[in-house]
Amino acid sequence: MAAAAPDGFAVTITINGEPRSLTIPPSTTLLDLLRERLDLTGAKKGCDQGQCGACTVLVNGRRVNSCLQLAVMNDGAEVTTIEGLGQPGSLHPLQEAFVAHDAFQCGYCTPGQICSAVGMMSEGHAKTEPEIRELMSGNLCRCGAYSNIVDAIEDVMGSAAVREAAE
């Protein structure tokens, strides 16, 4: 059995395609690792309790609350954060759609919303608007941009469906 003293555990986590080898204390969450150690502040801390969704990132392609993930437990994982989805000039279609639909105001829940929507689309269980609303409900938006967020997601899902039909 592998074990570690409280002060450090060596892990390698691939973040946005780049393997990062680090020694971290077991109490470090994936969110704090990203924000405080790796300067990837796109994942946001809104509650630190899994109750708002602002910290949502993709771990091995699945959306999770990074605030509730101990980083050590993600040794060997592939993590995609909002920074890895796209950058200005080469935005992911969902990032573009969020801008086009004004699907945010303060922008603080936005990276989590977008990562969550990317995760939701790859899960493939949301086909209708009520299903989108239900399956995005783990991402709170206090600015109240919900209907714009749903429009942005539908926009991209629509284009994806169109592309699939064309292929």
Partner 1 sequence: MSNIHPYVGRANTRVDGPLKVSGLAKYSAEFGAEDLAYAAAVPSAVAKGRITALDVSAALAAPGVIEVLSHKNRIDFPEDDEPFKNDMVAVPGSPFRPFRDDKIHYAGQAIALVVADTHENARYAATLVKATYDVETPNVDVATSANYYDPPEKRDGIPPPPDPRGDAKGAFDRAPIKVESDYRVVAEHHNPMELQATTVIWEGDGRLLVHNKTQGVVNPKNYICSVFGLDEDKVRFFSPYVGGAFGMALRPHYDVFLAVMASLKLERSVRLVLTRAQMFTMGWRPDCLQTLSLGAETSGKLTSITHHAIQATSMFEDYQEPIVNWSGLLYDCDNVSLKYELGKVDTSTPSDMRAPGATTGVFALECAMDELSYAAGVDPIELRLLNYSDHDQNDDKPFSSKELKAAYEQGAERFGWSKRSFEPRSMKEGHELIGYGMATGCWEAMTMPHKARATLTADGKLEVACATADIGTGTYTILAQIGADALGVDIAEVTSKVGDTSLPMAPVEGGSWAAASAGSAVKLACEALKEELLKHARGLDNSPLANASLDLVTFSNGRIALKADLAKAVSVADVLKSAGVEKLDGEAGYAPDEEFTKKYAGYTHGACFVEVRVDEELGVIRLVRIVSAIAAGKILNPLTARSQILGGVVMGCGMALHEETKWDKTLGRVMNANLGEYHVPAHADIPEVDVIFVDEEDGSNPLGIKGLGEIGIVGAAAAVANAVFHATGKRVRELPITIDKLL
Partner 2 sequence: MMNFSYTRAETIADAVAAVAGDPDARFIAGGTNLVDLMKYDVMKPGRLVDITRLPLREIEATDGGGLKIGALVPNSDLAYDQRIQRDYPLLSSAILAGASAQLRNAATTGGNLIQRTRCYYFYDVATPCNKREPGSGCSAKTGVNRIHAILGTSDACIATHPSDMCVALAALEAVVHVEGPDGQRTIAFADFHRLPGDEPQYDNTLAHGEMVTAVELPAPRFGQNHTYLKLRDRLSYAFALVSVAAAIEMDGDVIGETRVALGGVAHKPWRVPEAEALLKGKFATRELFGEVADRLLQGAKGFGDNDFKIELARRAVVRALTQAAAGAPQVQSNKIVN
Q: Which of 107, 131, 142, 158 touches partner 2 (CB under 8 A)?
A: 131
- For residue 162, give every residue at least 6 positions away whose Cβ sits within 8 Å of its Cβ, in sequence order, or none: none
Q: Is 46 in the site for partner 2 (CB under 8 A)?
A: no
Residue identified by tokens 């946005």 is: 16
Q: Which of 102, 106, 122, 134 touches partner 2 (CB under 8 A)?
A: 134
Q: Which of 37, 87, 102, 123 touches partner 2 (CB under 8 A)?
A: 123
Helix axes 146-166, 110-123, angle to 10 degrees: 40
One character per residue 102-141, x = contact with partner 1 (rule: CB under 8 A): x-xxxxxxxx--x---------------x-xxx-xx-xxx
Per-position DSSP letters for 7-52, written without gaps between them: T-EEEEEEETTEEEEEEE-TT-BHHHIIIIIS--TTS--S-SSSSS
Residues lying near partner 2 in the complex (CB under 8 A) are found at 1-6, 9, 25-27, 29, 48-50, 53, 56, 62-65, 67-70, 72-73, 75, 116, 119-120, 123, 125, 128, 130-131, 133-140
